[in-house]
Structure 1
Amino acid sequence: MSRLRLLSAAALLAVAANSHATSLIVTTDAIVGALKATSDVTSDASSSLRDNKIVLAARDDAASFVASEGAIRGVKLESAFDHIRHQAPQLNATDEQLAQAILAI
């Protein structure tokens, strides 16, 4: 009888270990996939903005905005903010973050 229990325990342990490994692989694949998708969206957005005339024209306004801690808001910068938020509605960035991103391009 103890052999049967020992074999049952070994079988249960093998199934549990296999199940745990499978769930770890699935979880890891899901996380890596989500990170890759986020990276692709960010890369696509930044590369398309890098060549955008509206965004490039707002660099001076962005510099004034950042230097004045948001007190100076130029027309070109406002236009760039609207353009960026229209192009990437999933982007949850503050005006300060967008201005700094424009300066970094």
Structure 2
Amino acid sequence: MPRFALLLAAGLLACAAQAQATSFVMTTDALAGASVGVSESTSDLSSSFGDDKIVLAARDDAASFVASDGAIRGARLEAALRHIRERAPQLDADDRQLARAILVL
């Protein structure tokens, strides 16, 4: 009986390890996919707005916006988002992506 219990425990451990590895891979893939849009927005923003005073002044508001999951929208962030969209209408990014890109500048 002890040998059967050991084999059963080893089998359960192997199943648990496989499930955990699969979960990690799926989480990593999801995060990587989400970061692609942010990195594309960041590269476009940094090349165009890296020294823009309106955008740089919005960094604190952008941090609050990201940290609050969009609940806090400061006036400087609103001005920066409007400014970015007027000067670069080709950017296909939502407010969260742009706020994260502002933080990277």
Q: Give the TM-score, by structure 1 length.
A: 0.57
User: What is the CA–CA distance in structure 2 between the aligned matches of 1:90 and 1:48, rounded to whole Å?
Assistant: 12
Higher gyration radius (CA): 1
Determine the structure 2 residue equivalent to 1:68: 68
Gaps of 5+ in 1: 1-38
Identity %: 71
Q: Residue 46 of structure 1: CA displacement?
A: 2.2
User: What is the CA–CA distance in structure 2 between the aligned matches of 1:55 and 1:66, rounded to whole Å?
Assistant: 15
Q: Give the TM-score, by structure 2 length.
A: 0.57
Determine the structure 2 residue equivalent to 1:97: 97
Determine the structure 2 residue equivalent to 1:78: 78
The one of the two structures with greater contact order (alpha-carbon pairs below 8 A, sep at least 6) is: 2
Q: How many residues align?
A: 65
User: What is the CA–CA distance in structure 1 between the aligned matches of 2:99 and 2:73, rounded to whole Å?
Assistant: 10
Quick one: which amino acid aligns to residue 70 of structure 1?
G
Structure 1 segments of 4 or more deviating over 2 A?
42-48
Task: Classify the secondary structure of the residue corresponding to 2:90.
Answer: coil
